[in-house]
Structures are given as C-alpha cells and as structure tokens.
Structure 1
Amino acid sequence: MGVISRDKSQINCIYANDSDFGKQLEGYLKASGKEILMININETMPTPTQWQELAVDLNTGIENFLDFSKIENMNNNSKFDANDYVTILENNPKAFQGAIIINGKKTEHITTVTEVLKYFDSDSANIELTNQAEEIDLNKSKDRDNFL
C-alpha cells in the first residue's frame, strides 16, 4: 500500500501554478465532475517517499519530471540518483514539467492540455456525444405543433 491517497471520486493533481499550463489545468480537471485536490508544489512539496511512489507508478525516473532548461548549470546529461533529483525538485519547483494526475488506481504524467482530455476520454466540454445518424421524428404529435 502506498502513501498517496487514491479515491475514484477525487482527482489529485500535483502541479506548479507558475506556468501557463498550471494556470489552465484546474479548469480542465473540473470538467470531470469529480472533486479536485490541487497540490501546488510551490506551496506544498510532496515528500521524497511520495515522489518515489509516483515514479514507480509511472514506471519512470524522477528526472523525467524535470525540465533541465529551467535549472542553472544543469543539462539533460547530468547524472544523479533519485534522492538527488528529489532535492533538485525541492530547490527548483519551477523545473517541474507538466502535472501528475491521480484518480483511483490511474496515475498519469501529463505535459499538455490535450493529454488532460485524453486522460478522461472525453471531448473538451465533457459532453456525451450522441449518434447524429439517428432519425429525427418530424411528424406532428399534436394539432397545435407548428413546424417551419
């Protein structure tokens, strides 16, 4: 059992609110109709254990959560261990790229708004689409009905 709370009726979102993507994210998540818990790493940093759990859930390394271009004197070729990458995140939250969304057992690291929409398998308004091929009844059902 992990240390991160997982509930199908709530979406947990770990993000940084100082990017344009981060500012748009909550609106897209609200379209799901579920409760939303926004965890802004500029205010509340996940623990090293939580970062490790997220990396394991996503089958990736913590370094893949980082945008190295936003960190001075670092590049993609720098090699550190997982604990070092957590320390880098703690000291450089602006380098966190995208967001991590958790809903029940499903965890995704997303970096674009379109990935948010794919996460929910819905269109942008979260409206169920109907089959337009269904026949429409154009016959009057009452004498008072008027059709143009």
Structure 2
Amino acid sequence: MGMIATNNNEIKLYYSSETSIGKQTYAYVVSSEKKVLGVDISKTKVPGSHWVEIADGLNIEIQKLINMEHPDFIKQYGDKCIDLDQHDWLRILEKHPETLAFPVVIMEGKFIAIHSPSDFAKYLNPDTTKQ
C-alpha cells in the first residue's frame, strides 16, 4: 500500500499554481463532479516518499518529474546534463517545486501525467462532467 491515500470518488492533483499549465489543469479537474484534493506544491511541502510513489505510479524515474529547462533549474545547476542520485533529485523538488515538469492526477488508483490541460478531459466519463 502506498503512502498517498486514494479514494475512487476523489481526484488528487499535484500541481503548481505558479504555472499556467497548473492553473489550467486545476480548472479542468474541478469541473468534474468528483471531489478534488488539489495539492499546490508552491504552497504545500510534498514529502519525498510521495514523489517516489508518484514517479513509480507513472513508471518513470524521479528526474523525469523535473523540468531541467526551467530557468530556476538552469540558474542553480546549469544547462548541462547532470548526474544526481534519487535523493538529490528529491531535494530539488523539495527546494524548487516550481521545477515540476507537469501536473499529476491520481484518479481511481491511476497516476496520470498531464502535459496539456486538455489531457485530463479524456479521462472524464461523459457522465462525470457537469452539464
């Protein structure tokens, strides 16, 4: 069992309200009729264990959660490819949450990377959208 509590009647969204994709994705998610728990990582510290679970749920490595082209990442680490261990990548997410590459939705036990706000729409059943 994972550390992140899930509920089939709830959508959990990890996003940053400081990014346009985060704000737009949040708007899409709250348009569903399910209860939404939005975790705005720019205001809420997310434990490393949650990031590990999110990466595992998406079947990706931790560093894939980080936008290495983000200006804050480049300012801190440069624009060259860097080799860090999992702990170091987790510290980047902890100290620089603005570098999160994309919002993540957890819905009905599925982890979904949202690369475009409209990506979420295809996961809604026609009967779950507000009329």
Category of TM-score, reference length = shorter chain: 0.7 to 0.9
| Residue type at the aligned position of 2:103 | A
Bigger helix fraction: 2
Taking structure 2 as the reference length, the TM-score comes to 0.86
Aligned to 1:102: 106
CA contact (8 A) 1:58 1:107 kept: yes
Distance 1:108 1:4 in 2: 14
| 2:107 is the alignment partner of 1:126 | no
Aligned to 2:61: 61
Structure 2: stretches of 5+ with no match in the other structure = none
Tell me the percent identity: 25
Taking structure 1 as the reference length, the TM-score comes to 0.77
Higher normalized contact order (CA 8 Å, seq sep 6+, divided by chain length): 2
Structure 1: stretches of 5+ with no match in the other structure = 129-148
| 2:17 is the alignment partner of 1:13 | no
The total of aligned residue pairs comes to 126
Displacement after TM superposition at 1:49 (Å): 0.9
| 2:126 is the alignment partner of 1:114 | no
Aligned to 2:86: 82
Aligned to 1:26: 26
Give a deviation string over 1:36-61, Cα, whole Å, max 9, x none.
Answer: 01101111121111111111111101
Distance 2:61 2:9 in 1: 28
